[in-house]
Amino acid sequence: MIKFFSTIRKRLLGEGKTTNYLKYAIGEIVLVVIGILIALQINNWNEHRKELRKESAIVKELYKELQQNLKVTTKHKEQIEKINQEVLFLLNISDDSLKSLTNKELNQHIFKSSKIIGFTPINQKLNRILGIENFGFSHSKTLLNEFQDYNNSIKDISAMNLSAVDVFRNKLVPFLSNNVSIKNLMHEIYPNKISKSDNYVDLRPIIKSLAFENLYADFFASYASYIFTLEHNIDLIDDLIKHIEKAYPTVISTKNTGS
């Protein structure tokens, strides 16, 4: 091709057709420029395809992580709700109910209420994506902001969990250790493993004491706030999953074929 154009140039110069040569030279330059632009466009198109494939892979990872987090967070919330129901039961127990319950039953209620469950949300992929400078989702202008809100909610969960753990360790455990038989609490739940304590403690006056009332009120408030934070986080996860399914339908097809 280069030899072909060179031959034409020589012929035009040899014939003394300067005007035609200039027209040809300009045309050749235009063709070269067009070729360069086409090559650049193809290169940009290839780079864009690579970026889209990378983004699709990232979205799939985040989508999977969100689904996992939805399950574990929902399960964790249900566990906390069960504990808080026991806390609320003891906090609101009436005199008649207190009289009708045996010491064994009261031990069981106290044991079920005196639990703490650590929780670490799954957000490794999310942290990695949010750490990429200038990252964006090409199919949605708001998705990144929603992920940032979701990440802030995860931080709130961690803070609320630490608060609940603090109430449990620094308030509830010392109170129970000083006022009830921990061995008997555990015996009622694990009778085949832990023997009954010789130190009998009548739980009724303890449960009706002001110290117990204030402690369990604090415990209930702590867990109630924690449950609210978990519910908000679950709502954000639901919204993100729906947003991804709408903006990236290929994720849905991947999910369906893999199930």
User: Which tens digits make up the pLDDT trace of 188-211?
Assistant: 878 889 998 888 889 999 999 999
pLDDT band at 125 (very low <50, low <70, confident <90, very high): confident
The reply to whether 8 falls in a domain is no
- Confirm whether 27 is domain-assigned: no
DSSP structure class, residue 210: H
In a domain, 59, yes or no: no
Cβ neighbours for 95, distance < 8 A, ≥ 6 positions apart = 208
Q: How confident is the model at residue 258 (pLDDT cuts 50, 70, 90)?
A: very low
Taking the C-alpha atoms of residue 55 and residue 135, their distance in angstroms, rounded to an integer, is: 9
Q: Give a yes or no: residue 175 inside a domain.
A: yes
- Residue 172 placed within a domain: yes
State the total domains in the chain: 1
Tokens of 77: 């919330």
Q: Which residues of 190-225 are buried (b: 16+ CB within 10 A; e: fewer)?
A: eeeeeeeeeeebebeebbeeeebeebbeebbebbee
Question: How far is the C-alpha of 179 from the C-alpha of 186, rounded, in Å?
Answer: 15
Q: Are 205 and 65 contacting, i.e. CB atoms less than 8 angstroms apart?
A: no
Name which of 23-27, 51-55, 178-182, 200-204 the model is least confident about: 23-27
**Side chain identity, residue 122:** I
Q: Please give the residue range of the domain that contains residue 247.
A: 69-258
Determine, yes or no, domain membership for 231.
yes
| Residue 145 within a domain | yes
Q: Give the C-alpha separation, 69 to 11, whole Å.
A: 75
